[in-house]
Amino acid sequence: MSLLELDDVSVTYRIASGEVPAVRGVSLALDAGAALGVAGESGSGKSTLAMALLRLLPKDAQVGGRILLDGEDVLTMKWGRMRAVRWAEASIVFQGAQHGLNPVRRIGEQIAEPLLVHDLAKPEAARARVAELLDQVGLPAWRARSYPHELSGGQRQRIMIAMALACSPRLIIADEPTTALDVMVQAQVLTLIKDLVAEHGISLIMISHDLSVLADVCDQLAVMYAGRVVEHGPSAEVFHDAKHPYSKALAAAFPTVGDPVSRMAPKGLGGDPPDPMELPTGCAFHPRCPVALDTCADLDVRLWPAGPNRTAACVHARVDEEVAS
């Protein structure tokens, strides 16, 4: 059984001017110890999906479908159970560490808090655990006495990772964990995440708009567009041989050093992502798609098999059935 199973998950925000379908029918599974990357442009629904996993969405968000964590549906859990699950079984690292830390409390107290709140350690054992966690994220034990403003952005993000690890969760959700950091520090933090999840056998969901980062850290990739997963498969295959034209454009937008010259000059995608309140008919990507057919505007688009262990929501990628063109 998968550690995490998403079955037809949808999230709709109800706002004054109507309904915003931010996530639409997402089904994904994550095995214990595996790492799944979720990619997509700004507004594609990645953060909404991540927040839905731990029921951290605001009240105006209506969530449908099933989110099974070790077989237990997160969406129907009692609040007491939900609070126990957060940190202890699954924790989340947000982008921009400085916003997540309390500026007037010492780092050590903040890392120890989830341990004390969940009654997983007495104060003395928690202090020892804080030193151990600081060591795991590459910081000296004396940093426990520092305040957040005494640390760099990269060090603060390491603290957030230490907090996420504190209760030894089985799943960590990392939402753009390195976006606010400079390139060198980004690489260090990514290596740290990669090493820690491998060492502790933790499952990881990492969210980013950068497919190359996800391909480096994750085994599987899901690409989101307008609230839907439009491609899913082994990360190296999706990154180097995308089947969906949107994933192709996204992969081409992040060439890596050493790539052949052909990949260094990607054709940019025209247009903007659609407003979720005014989604195009059929395939939501068709107005921007360089290979769209007339029929794509009316298509009942779904994730079709697109090769071994791969799916893509594009008629050009289907391998199972005859398609109308």
By CB under 6 A, name the one of 17, 58, 71, 324 that touches ligand ATP.
Answer: 58
Query: How far apart, in Å, are the Cα atoms of 146 and each of 101, 110, 123, 136, 160?
Result: 12, 11, 18, 17, 14
Shortest spacing between CB 323 and ligand ATP, in angstroms: 29
46 is a contact residue toward ligand ATP (CB under 6 A): yes
62 is a contact residue toward ligand ATP (CB under 6 A): no
250 is a contact residue toward ligand ATP (CB under 6 A): no
By CB under 6 A, name the one of 10, 12, 48, 157 that touches ligand ATP.
Answer: 48
276 is a contact residue toward ligand ATP (CB under 6 A): yes
- CA separation for the pair 59, 51 (Å, rounded): 12
Q: String of b and e for 1-14 (b: at least 16 CB within 10 Å)?
A: ebbbbbeebbbbbe
258 is a contact residue toward ligand ATP (CB under 6 A): no
Among residues 11 and 107, whose Cβ is nearest to ligand ATP?
Answer: 11
Among residues 22 and 173, whose Cβ is nearest to ligand ATP?
Answer: 22
12 is a contact residue toward ligand ATP (CB under 6 A): no
Contact 57, 89 (CB under 8 A): no
* Helix (H) or strand (E) run with residue 58 in it: none
Helix, strand, coil tally for the chain in percent (to 5): 40, 25, 40
CA atoms within 13 A on the CB side of 86: 18
Shortest spacing between CB 40 and ligand ATP, in angstroms: 5
Among residues 50 and 314, whose Cβ is nearest to ligand ATP?
Answer: 50
In 10 A of CB 318, how many CB atoms? 17
By CB under 6 A, name the one of 9, 13, 67, 238 that touches ligand ATP.
Answer: 13
Query: How far apart, in Å, are the Cα atoms of 144 and each of 101, 130, 155, 165?
Result: 13, 7, 12, 15
Among residues 10 and 47, whose Cβ is nearest to ligand ATP?
Answer: 47
43 is a contact residue toward ligand ATP (CB under 6 A): yes
45 is a contact residue toward ligand ATP (CB under 6 A): yes
By CB under 6 A, name the one of 129, 170, 209, 288 that touches ligand ATP.
Answer: 209
Residue 309 CB-density burial (10 A; 0-12 exposed, 13-18 middle, 19+ buried): exposed
Shortest spacing between CB 44 and ligand ATP, in angstroms: 4
Shortest spacing between CB 78 and ligand ATP, in angstroms: 24
H-state helical runs in the chain:
46-53, 79-88, 97-100, 107-117, 123-136, 153-165, 183-200, 211-217, 235-240, 245-252, 261-264
By CB under 6 A, name the one of 10, 47, 186, 311 that touches ligand ATP.
Answer: 47
244 is a contact residue toward ligand ATP (CB under 6 A): no
- What the block records as the tokens of 17 is 């001017």
Binding site for ligand ATP (CB under 6 A): 13, 15, 20, 22, 40, 42-48, 58, 209, 276
